[in-house]
Structure 1
Amino acid sequence: MKNRITELFNIQYPIIQAGMIWNSGWRLATAVSNSGGLGLLGAGSMYPEILREHIQKCKKATDKPFGVNVPMLYPDIEKIIDIIIEEGVKIVFTSAGNPKTYTSKLKAKGITVVHVVSSVKFALKAQEAGVDAIVAEGFEAGGHNGREETTTFTLIPMVKEQLDIPLIAAGGIATGRGMLAAMVLGADGVQVGSRFVASEEASSHSAFKQMVIDAKEGDTQLTLKELAPVRMLKNKFFESVMQLYTTGPTKEDLINHLGRARAKKGMFEGDLEEGELEIGQIAGLIHDIKPAAQILNDMIEEFQIAKKEVANF
């Protein structure tokens, strides 16, 4: 498959594995890259030197392109950017911040920069900032989300209508049919998160992976919009947040209730009751844990089958 995304990243398939905190370590990133997609390290859950370690392990485990996802709201951001440059990473996805902050610095070092957005407004701002491509992520996505609550299938054609640079669709895409649908609407590629959480190589806890594949429609919900909107599985912690909302909490009340390292406790350490279990709505369509290579191959095979079926309409 050749298009603007495969050419931009020098990959075989226009499938990007999302750089998810506590899920996207070097094993997952290299497995996806070695299978023809683009693997991303999730820097948001890594101290700077841990990120360096994962980058170095990626360089040893694959000769294919891989990248790093950098949420700009996290501390030590300057150190993270410096390590990425020092280690010779060629692709960076930025999110949760102003794309103007680091795009010029990264591009001056020959790094391809992609920015994640949730609206047309921010897609155009990122394009103006000089990024090489956009990830437009819909309301269905897991983890931290946009405030606009625009669904993927509404967002993609709206962004496509005004964007000149390559467009990657994200949010609610876990199958080849979903990939085809996103590309019919104007995307040049797709970013896949939740499906790769349920992979053998994901660094998240096995108990969390099992809860993902057991999830049904309606088992996730977006909450904590006053802080940073986040979609998570409904568990004891989620219900306690909902109970707190009945008291008319202040922003400080919500911060205190959330506490520290709640996502690590849930996704990485496997505390299914008190942890923050971030996953997308598409979890209801994920039924098994597979090697990342098999996930990617299944998506491409289903994509080709669906493409032929559509041609016969």
Structure 2
Amino acid sequence: MQNKITTLFNIKHPIIQAGMIWNSGWRLASAASNSGILGLIGAGSMYPEVLRAHIQKCKKATSLPFGVNVPMLYPNIQEIMDIIVEEGVKIVFTSAGNPKTWTKWLQDQGIIVVHVVSSVKFALKAQEAGVDAVVAEGFEAGGHNGRDETTTLTLIPMVKEQLQIPLIAAGGIATGKAMLACMILGADGVQVGSRFVASEESSAHQAFKQVVVDAKEGDTQLTLKELAPVRLVKNKFYNDVQELYKTAPTLEQLKEFLGRARAKKGMFEGDLEEGELEIGQIAGLIHDIKPVAEIVKEMIEEFETAKASVSII
């Protein structure tokens, strides 16, 4: 399947494995790339030298294209970008910041730049900044999310209507049928996160992977909008946050309660009570933990079958 996204990244299938904190190390990224899609290392949970080590290991594990996802809100962002350039990474997905800040600088180093957005407004700002493609992520997605709560089904055609550059859909996509639906709505490719959390190569703790597999409809909720909206599994930490909201807390009180390393505690260390467990609504459709290659194979087969059935109608 060849289109704008496969051509842009030189990959076989128009699927991007999302660069998720505490889930997307070199093993996941290299397995994704070796499966014919674009693998991403999630830099958001890595100190600069840890990121360097993951990039180096990924280069040894795959000869195919891979990239790095970089949330731009971290204080050591310059060091992270320098390492990406020094290690010869050719694809960067940026998020959580102004795309104008780094897009031209990265492109001047020969790097393809994609920016993640949650609205038409920010998609157009990213296009104006000169990015090579945009990921439009709907409200269903896990982790940090948009405040407008626009769903993928609504967001993709609205962005497509105004965007001139390649569009990647994200949020609530874990199957070939969902991939086809997004592409019918105008996406050139899809970014998949939650499905790859429940993969053998994910760096997530096994206990967290099992939580994802066991999740049902309604087990996640968007919260902490005053800080940075995040979709979480409803565990003890989530319930404690809701109790705190009953006291009309200040921003400072919310920050103090959140503390540090909650996401690491939950997703990487497996503290299912006190940790942040970030996953998308689509977890209700994820029922097993599989190798990445098998996940990709099933998605593509389902996509092709669904595409053929639609053409018959």
TM above 0.5, yes or no, is yes
SS at match of 2:97: coil
The letter for the 2-side match of 1:88 is: G
- Give me the whole-angstrom Cα distance separating, in 1, the residues matched to 2:107 and 2:58: 21
The letter for the 1-side match of 2:129 is: A
Residue 205 (str. 1) matches residue 205 (str. 2):
yes
Which residue in 2 is equivalent to 1:108? 108
Which residue in 2 is equivalent to 1:126? 126
Which 5+ residue runs of structure 2 have no aligned equivalent? none
Which 5+ residue runs of structure 1 have no aligned equivalent? none
- Give me the whole-angstrom Cα distance separating, in 2, the residues matched to 1:144 and 1:31: 24
- Give me the whole-angstrom Cα distance separating, in 2, the residues matched to 1:232 and 1:176: 25
1:173-184, aligned counterparts within 5 Å?
173-184=173-184
TM-score relative to the length of structure 1: 1.00
| CA shift digits 1:52-95 (9 cap, x unpaired) | 00000011111100000000112311100000011110000000
Which residue in 2 is equivalent to 1:234? 234
CA displacement at 1:305 relative to structure 2: 0.5
- Give me the whole-angstrom Cα distance separating, in 2, the residues matched to 1:80 and 1:301: 37
Q: Kindly tell me the number of residue pairs found equivalent between the two proteins.
A: 313
- Give me the whole-angstrom Cα distance separating, in 1, the residues matched to 2:152 and 2:253: 32
Residue 162 (str. 1) matches residue 133 (str. 2):
no
1:70-85, aligned counterparts within 5 Å?
70-85=70-85
CA displacement at 1:243 relative to structure 2: 0.3
| CA shift digits 1:215-242 (9 cap, x unpaired) | 0000000000000000010000000000
- Give me the whole-angstrom Cα distance separating, in 2, the residues matched to 1:108 and 1:231: 35
| CA shift digits 1:190-235 (9 cap, x unpaired) | 0000000000000010000000000000000000000000001000
Which residue in 1 is equivalent to 2:52? 52
**What is the aligned-residue identity percentage?**
80
SS at match of 2:67: strand
Which residue in 1 is equivalent to 2:246? 246
The letter for the 1-side match of 2:211 is: M
Structure 1 segments of 4+ aligned residues over 6 angstroms from their partners: none
The letter for the 2-side match of 1:60 is: K
Which residue in 2 is equivalent to 1:136? 136
- Give me the whole-angstrom Cα distance separating, in 2, the residues matched to 1:260 and 1:74: 14
The letter for the 1-side match of 2:80 is: I
What's the C-alpha RMSD, in Å, of the aligned pairs? 0.4
- Give me the whole-angstrom Cα distance separating, in 2, the residues matched to 1:142 and 1:116: 14
| CA shift digits 1:261-295 (9 cap, x unpaired) | 00000000000000000000000000000000100
Which residue in 1 is equivalent to 2:31? 31
1:247-286, aligned counterparts within 5 Å?
247-286=247-286
SS at match of 1:284: helix
SS at match of 2:99: coil
Which residue in 1 is equivalent to 2:311? 311
- Give me the whole-angstrom Cα distance separating, in 2, the residues matched to 1:33 and 1:256: 39
